[in-house]
Amino acid sequence: MIKIGIVDDHQLFAKSLSLMLASFKNYQIVVEALNGKDLQEKLADKKIIPEIMLIDVNMPIMNGIETAKWMHKKYPSIKLVALSMNDEDRIIIDMLKAGCCSYLLKDTHPNELEKALTEIIEKGFYNADATNVNYRSILQMDKEKELMNITEREKLFLKLACSDFTYKEIAKQMNVSHRTIDGYREELFKKFKVQSRVGLILEALRKDIIKL
């Protein structure tokens, strides 16, 4: 049984999520908490530690970013998954920087949630934005060959894309036009087979091209 933890201050949602996860095969809820502080106290008394932790972004007392940072430092082996209704790039990137390996919206279909959890266990991450990617063959590819396809300017763009900078601000940082930035973005979207900035960052992280 794969052990799951949930930290969310909305008790009705958390309970519904817990019941849904229990309906999946091979999943067991081992801890539920209302916020990061509550989670710290409950994990201190737990002999069973979850393998995956679902973390709400907006919580009182100790929010999702603070909770993820603490979890990543204290329990680095636990896979952290952000769960929120907020789909702003800035918030998503902050949660990834805090140590999360995936970011799921709360209106995610149960089938996708189960798929995400399976991939997180098998591959260490889940990127809902990636499409038609044969992950098993990609994981076997030589990293040096992958890196040869990414120019130094594209690497710089990727690094800046992980910040809070808007695309306009990235253009200013790189001393190029907004149209040039659009070109970098579209070319990298094609190379990584993604459709969004967040998907691009997740793929670049997975391939060790950038680090947060």
Mention every residue, 6+ apart, whose C-beta is less than 8 A from residue 98: 64, 65, 68, 69, 72, 80
Q: Which of the residues in the chain have pLDDT under 50?
A: 131-148
Nearest to 101 by CA among 86, 121, 84: 121
Residue 128: inside a domain, yes or no?
A: no
Same domain, 75 and 42: yes
Residue 129: inside a domain, yes or no?
A: no
What would the pLDDT profile of 67-124 be if each residue is shown by its tens digit? 999 999 999 999 999 988 887 777 888 888 888 988 888 888 888 889 889 889 888 8
Residue 211: inside a domain, yes or no?
A: no
Same domain, 79 and 182: no
What tokens appear for 84 in the block? 């929120």
Question: What pLDDT score does 4 carry?
Answer: 93
Question: What pLDDT score does 175 carry?
Answer: 92
In one-letter notation, the amino acid at residue 31 is V
Task: Label residue 211 left, alpha or beta by phi (over 0 means left) and psi (-120 to 50 means alpha).
Answer: beta
CA distances to 107, 126, 127, 136 from 131, in Å: 20, 12, 9, 14
Same domain, 142 and 117: no
What is the pTM for the complete model shown? 0.70
Nearest to 54 by CA among 118, 98, 5: 5
In terms of residue numbers, what domain contains 187?
135-206
Question: What pLDDT score does 33 carry?
Answer: 92
Question: What pLDDT score does 141 carry?
Answer: 45
Same domain, 108 and 57: yes
Collapsing DSSP to helix, strand or coil, 160 comes out as: helix
Measured CA to CA, the distance from residue 161 to residue 208 in angstroms comes to 15
Same domain, 117 and 97: yes
Of 61, 89, 123, the last residue of a domain is: 123
What tokens appear for 57 in the block? 């972004």
